Structure formats: C-alpha cells, structure tokens
Amino acid sequence: MSNSRSSSIPRGHQVVRVDNTSLAVRTPSPLRTLDDVRLQVAYEVAIRSITRAKSLDGVKIGVSLTLSKDEDEFFLYKVADMIAYQLQLTSFLFAIATTGPSLVHRPNPVVFVASSQEFVQRAILLTSAKFIGRIRSGAQLSPVCWAGLIDGIGTSTYDDDAFWDILHKCSRAPMDPTLPPPGSRSINQILSDVRAQLQRITPQQALDELREPEVGAPTFLVDIRPVAERELGGIQGSLVIERNVLEWRFDPKSNSRLAIADRYDLRIIVFCQEGDTSSLAAYSLQQLGLLNATDIIGGYQAWKDAGLPVDDRAGVRALIE
C-alpha cells in the first residue's frame, strides 16, 4: 500500500505527514528568474517614487535617482511603465535616472515619463538648458516618454536640484498672459518707487552744481544715452558712459572703474534723453554705495528746452568716452 502511494507522487514533490492517518502533497514554488527579480525591484522603485512625489497645481511630480548598473535604461523603462500604469488616471511628470559611474563607462540614462506630451516637451527643453554640454543623446520613446544619456548624473547635488526645478517649472498651470503674476510691478511702478529714493534735480540745478558743487566732492555730468541719440546733440564736457557698463565704471571696487571713481562720495548726475532710464541708472549707482548719485528731471530734452548750453558737434562734445 505504502509503495503504491509513493509511486504515484510526481518526482520533485514532497510528502508531508499531516497527522497519523493521512498524507498531503506540497508542491514547491517555482524558481524566480533574474527578470522576475528586476521586475519586482522596478515595481518597488516605482511605488517608492510615487509615495515620495509632490503635488503642484494638480500635477504629481517626482524624481527617482538609482545606483548605476549595466543595462540601466531597460530597468528605467520598466519603472516608467509601472509609474504610468499606477497613475493612469492622474496628471503626472516623473524624472528617473541612474547616478554614479556606469559599469560600462558611459553616460547615465535618464527617462521622463508623463501623463501628457506637453509635459514631456517642456521637460526636454528645460533639460537641454539645465545640462548644457552634458547631454549625449536623446530620443522620444512615445509621445509621453523621453529617454536620453547625460554625463555624470549624481556627481554633485546640483543634478537632483536641477531635476526638481525642471519638474516644478514644467508642471505649473498655464497662466493668463494678460494677468500679472503675484508680486510683479509695472515699469511705471518701479520707476515711481526708484524716484522716491532719489533727490532729483532740474537742468538748471544741475548746471549750478557743476559750476559750484554743493557737496565737497567732485561732480560729474554723465550721458548714458545710446549713440543714435547722442548724434542729435549733447552737452559738451559730459562723460559719455554707455548704460550697460555704467556700474562697472563707477564702482570703486570694480577692476574696470574709471580713474576718478576711487571714492564713494562722488556727485554723479546722470541724464538720458527724457529722464526715465537715468532714474533707474542713478538708483543702481546708489545701490553700489554712491549715495550722492541722482539724475536730471526731463533729461537732455529738458536741458535743451531750458535754453542751457548744448553742442551738436559729436566729435568734440565728450572729453571722455
């Protein structure tokens, strides 16, 4: 009897005694393959990424950086597929990449997966800007998935911050282009705020100061107008300093400063064509510590309208340019 029962049990199975009267057959679990293990790990990485994700404007965003191994891109594809499957009813954008040196000594694979093509397109453009000179290749795997190779991912804290910044900027809800963002100011508001910090002077006051300075420091009249406006007339003896280099020419700490800009109490009177740009320029000089800087109300046009000395000979007008 015993021999008959034993012979009927398939090879590879175990007989387990349950009690004194009966026997049960237990089938061993099939062996797991390497692909099974990698699939399980990919699932765990996907779930961990989703758990740690943030929400911004209704979009779930997350960054997952894993240690580098061979054939990383195929592993990342599986992670991306599982994230997409788990979040198929949600708006999302995720960046998945490996970190550190690859076993085959090549750039690190990076994958962006999202719920919409627009998110992926934004991510591609911002990644190109964030990782200039480090992107070796890139391809659109599908409308909602992009993969590329980037040098040295994870070699500095910059990379993790860069990926998060990309996701934040990509996932923001579109704004009404006519609606100013919170905290923004119009140029008229900025100009008004700047002028509240200045003691602006009239053209006549500027001329009087040049003849008899009110402060015990050298006084200079500075023309910051572009060359096209200077060719129409100017003030002989003024210093011609292009607006884009003004701060560097008068900052006493600058290596590009003028020889006269060796002290902070200079009286610098800036003028432009109509007195708007000059206010911003004078305020910028004050921010450098040149607290006596100011500008002319109405600019060169007001100077000319007041009948003060002007010179239309551009070649002899400026003593220093």
Tens digits of residue pLDDT in 236-258: 889 999 999 999 999 999 999 99
Residue 78 near residue 69, CB atoms below 8 Å: no
Q: Is the dihedral of CA 300, 303, 306, 312 positive or negative?
A: negative
Selection from 46, 156, 65 nearest residue 108 by Cα: 65
Selection from 319, 263, 272 nearest residue 292 by Cα: 263
The percentage of residues in the chain with a pLDDT greater than 90, rounded to a whole number, is 66
| Helical ranges in the chain per DSSP H | 2-7, 34-51, 72-86, 117-130, 157-171, 187-195, 203-211, 227-230, 246-250, 277-287, 299-305, 314-317
- Looking at residue 316, what is its pLDDT? 45
**Mean pLDDT calculated for residue range 26-32:** 65
- Residue 287 pLDDT greater than 50, yes or no: yes
- Looking at residue 131, what is its pLDDT? 94
- Sorting pLDDT into bands at 50, 70 and 90, what band is 118? very high
Per-residue CA distances from 73 to 46, 130, 146, 166, 186 (Å)? 14, 21, 11, 21, 48
- Residue 200 pLDDT greater than 60, yes or no: yes
- Residue 123 pLDDT greater than 90, yes or no: yes
- Residue 8 pLDDT greater than 90, yes or no: no
Residues 218-256: b if buried by 16+ CB within 10 A, e if exposed? ebbbbbbbeeebbeebbbeebbbbebeebbebbbeeeee
Q: Is the dihedral of CA 280, 285, 291, 294 positive or negative?
A: negative
- Looking at residue 29, what is its pLDDT? 63
Mean pLDDT score across all residues of the chain: 86
- Residue 103 pLDDT greater than 70, yes or no: no
The interaxial angle of helices 187-195 and 277-287, nearest 10 deg, is 60
